[in-house]
Amino acid sequence: MSKVLDGITVIEQGTFITGPAAGMLLGDLGANVIKVEQPGTGDPFRAFKGGLYSPHYQTYNRNKRSIELNIKDPGDAAVFDDLIRGADVYIQNFRPGAAERMNAGQERLRALNPRLVYCAISGFGQTGPAAGRPAYDTVAQAASGFLNLLVDPAHPRVVGPAIADALTGFYAAYGVLGALVERARTGVGRVVEVSMLEAMCHFNLDAFTHFLSEGEIMDPYSRPRVSQSYVLACADGGRIALHMSSPEKFWRGLADAMERPDILADPRFATREGRIANQEALIDILGAVFAGRTRDEWCQRLAERDVPHAPVYDTAEALRDPQARHLQLEVEAMHPSLGPWRTVRSPVSFDGELPTEVSPPPLLGEHNAQIRAELAQAGATTSCKDPS
């Protein structure tokens, strides 16, 4: 069964996360993604323990092929131009102005191929007072107001994965797909621009909406209070998460599971508004109760009463969960020289078919000969066509 982007060729000249993430997402949907890399070193994210195949690099570079090109070299520059002439999409995440200095600016590339969808990813936008500043994940999270919602005010430190980087890649792929749909009508490509700042501000839309509509500035506990979300430690050291939301039936089920019907009779906790206002006191009560049973015991009791919950898994536990196994989230592929390679598949299915086929991230320059041969064949085919 062909994939939805079968026949679409993407030239990705990305490094680190944002550009490669966008390319990977398109590759997951079946696009032919060709990663253009600097000879010898490649994407800086490759470097790891003296090698060029780091876990960071592997995360964002499956379903691609790699070709080494030094576009300052006239021969390699000609190969790059041939790639662009046959491409549908070009992706870069350089600082503003760098692509032009590399002869990879949108005007030149779209002159070579007017159908090209040119995607430029930046930290702070292509213009403006901060356009030239270096931007990494934490910088974008902070500038967008998002980091303020994650940091514990009492013990401020950065937590969690590279959310801004990955989300910017998602937004870039989203923009590319929109431009491809329009191109099907017009025959002309677009320049797609997205910055990490814009992506994270949009992802943080709930906080901005509260501010713009009500003048409210949210803090790290604003959403958990309203959604009535909890993380509670159990007797065996495991933890469990609850997201009680607003239906009263969930609280009745929770009270029954805890064998504490008196909790809902307490005026502080009898209504949703009361539970929001008194969440700190409720956390103390729930914490004492949940400490009396193991995580598995609580999961069984809560499931029997249809209470929204999940064990707080670590990475290994999450993949062992029966539902994760049923959905075949972990998939394996065979790299021609490195052997078995495992990853988590794309979450998007079409017509009920799980996307379990994946190709491992390429070694640096793994497809040099293959891609050059394809370009030579395409050139020979073009030259053999009847000019009339």
Contact 194, 168 (CB under 8 A): yes
DSSP state for residue 357 in the 8-state scheme: -
Total domains present in the chain: 2
Residue 330 lies in a domain: no
165 shares a domain with 81: yes
167 shares a domain with 68: yes
246 shares a domain with 99: no
227 shares a domain with 183: no
Q: Is 362 helix (H, G, I), strand (E, B) or coil?
A: coil
At 312-340, the pLDDT tens digits run 999 999 999 999 999 999 999 999 999 99
Residue 2 lies in a domain: no
Percentage of the chain lying above the pLDDT 70 cut: 98
Class of residue 269 by CB neighbours under 10 A (exposed 0-12, middle 13-18, buried 19+):
buried
Task: State residue 2's pLDDT score.
Answer: 78
Residue 341 lies in a domain: no
Task: State residue 190's pLDDT score.
Answer: 98
Residue 97 lies in a domain: yes
DSSP state for residue 361 in the 8-state scheme: P
| pTM listed for this prediction | 0.95
At 64-118, the pLDDT tens digits run 999 999 999 999 999 999 999 999 999 999 999 999 999 999 999 999 999 999 9
Domain end marker among 260, 287, 314? 314
Domain end marker among 287, 314, 341? 314
Q: Which two tokens stand for residue 243?
A: 């997201």
Among left, alpha and beta (phi > 0; psi -120 to 50; other), residue 300 is alpha
Pairing, β 89-92 against β 330-335 = unpaired
User: What is the number of helices (H) and of strands (E) in the chain?
Assistant: 17, 11
Mean pLDDT of the chain: 96
What span, in angstroms and rounded, lies between the C-alpha atoms of 312 and 242?
10
Find the CATH number of the domain harbouring 55.
3.40.50.10540
Task: State residue 379's pLDDT score.
Answer: 83
Is pLDDT of 388 > 50? no
229 shares a domain with 183: no
Residue 212 lies in a domain: no
What is the sign, positive or negative, of the torsion defined by CA atoms of 159, 146, 217, 231?
Answer: negative
What span, in angstroms and rounded, lies between the C-alpha atoms of 126 and 302?
50
* Domain of residue 122, residue span: 9-205+358-384
Task: State residue 361's pLDDT score.
Answer: 98
369 shares a domain with 234: no
Residue 135 lies in a domain: yes
Strand arrangement, sheet containing 9-13: 65-68, 32-37, 9-13, 89-92, 117-122, 191-195
Q: How confident is the model at residue 381 (pLDDT cuts 50, 70, 90)?
A: confident
Find the CATH number of the domain harbouring 237.
3.30.1540.10
What is the arithmetic mean of pLDDT over 220-240? Answer: 97
At 137-155, the pLDDT tens digits run 999 999 999 999 999 999 9
What span, in angstroms and rounded, lies between the C-alpha atoms of 174 and 18?
13
Domain end marker among 314, 348, 374? 314
What is the sign, positive or negative, of the torsion defined by CA atoms of 141, 145, 149, 155?
Answer: positive
Is pLDDT of 386 > 70? no
Task: State residue 387's pLDDT score.
Answer: 53
146 shares a domain with 257: no
At 241-271, the pLDDT tens digits run 999 999 999 999 999 999 999 999 999 999 9
Residue 113 lies in a domain: yes
108-115 contacts, C-beta under 8 A, 24 or more apart: 109/84, 110/189, 110/191, 112/81, 112/84, 112/85, 113/84, 113/85, 113/86, 113/87, 113/189, 114/188, 114/189, 115/88, 115/183, 115/187, 115/188, 115/189
142 shares a domain with 44: yes
Q: What burial letters (b/e) apply to 280-311, b meaning 16+ CB within 10 Å?
A: eebeebbeebbeebebeebbebbeebebbbeb
The alpha carbon of 244 is separated from its chain's Cα centroid by a whole number of angstroms, namely: 27
Q: Which two tokens stand for residue 232?
A: 């509670």
Residue 331 lies in a domain: no
Token pair 């191929």 is at which residue?
A: 113
Token pair 């002159």 is at which residue?
A: 111
